[in-house]
Structure 1
């Protein structure tokens, strides 16, 4: 069989078409709102201080006061408050006010993220 043979040329074209159709099928659509929300959440955790705050709040037995977090992470109360504000905006921490103090806890989403990260770390060992 030579390539000049019409049957061979047809088979070659069909084979090339089959490779293209099985290879280049496209990718699924991604919801823009979901993408934006996920990036906001992940970027809120993508800072050492904010991630440490989430871990420390998660390890506490109850909600944690800003003053306790300040001494634990060794940065100013203003910096802790800014980090917690970002975490709150991302839906990772809850906050409540008692007098002049604010107390922070984790949301269910943050707890699930920490559990997932713990599981991934455990799988790597």
Structure 2
């Protein structure tokens, strides 16, 4: 006859360890995408071949230059965009990580975008 401890042991499983560095990295990426302006900027950047100029992004999202700069800096720090300078302009492109994340979100939504 099984005792009470046998039943408890059968249903309780200890969760596995979580790598603190991986957790911090994942949270940085998710946090960077978790703001309306940053997410919209990332989507707009990912929709264009060969990079998007900051001046075009400011106009597209309708927020101040300062807000766009801060948002892009956060996306860059999270490894979701790259940037290059041509003359006095900066151009942003999605990283492979950003492309994969956006594709996954599209798949979850059932979108072909």
TM range (shorter): over 0.9
Output the TM-score relative to the length of structure 1.
Answer: 0.85
The superposition leaves residues 77-106 of structure 1 with CA deviations (integer Å, 9 ceiling, x where unpaired) of: 111111000000000000001111100000
| Structure 1 residues not aligned, in runs of 5+ | 1-10
Q: TM-score when scaled to structure 2? A: 0.94
Residue 31 (structure 1) aligned with residue 13 (structure 2): no
The number of residues matched between the two structures is: 111
Task: Decide which of 82, 88, 103 is 1:94's aligned counterpart.
Answer: 82
C-alpha distance in 1, partners of 2:61/2:51?
Answer: 16
Corresponding residue number in structure 2 for 1:115 = 103
Cα distance in structure 1, aligned partners of 2:31 and 2:96: 18
Q: CA RMSD in A?
A: 1.1
User: Structure 2: which 5+ residue stretches go unaligned?
Assistant: none
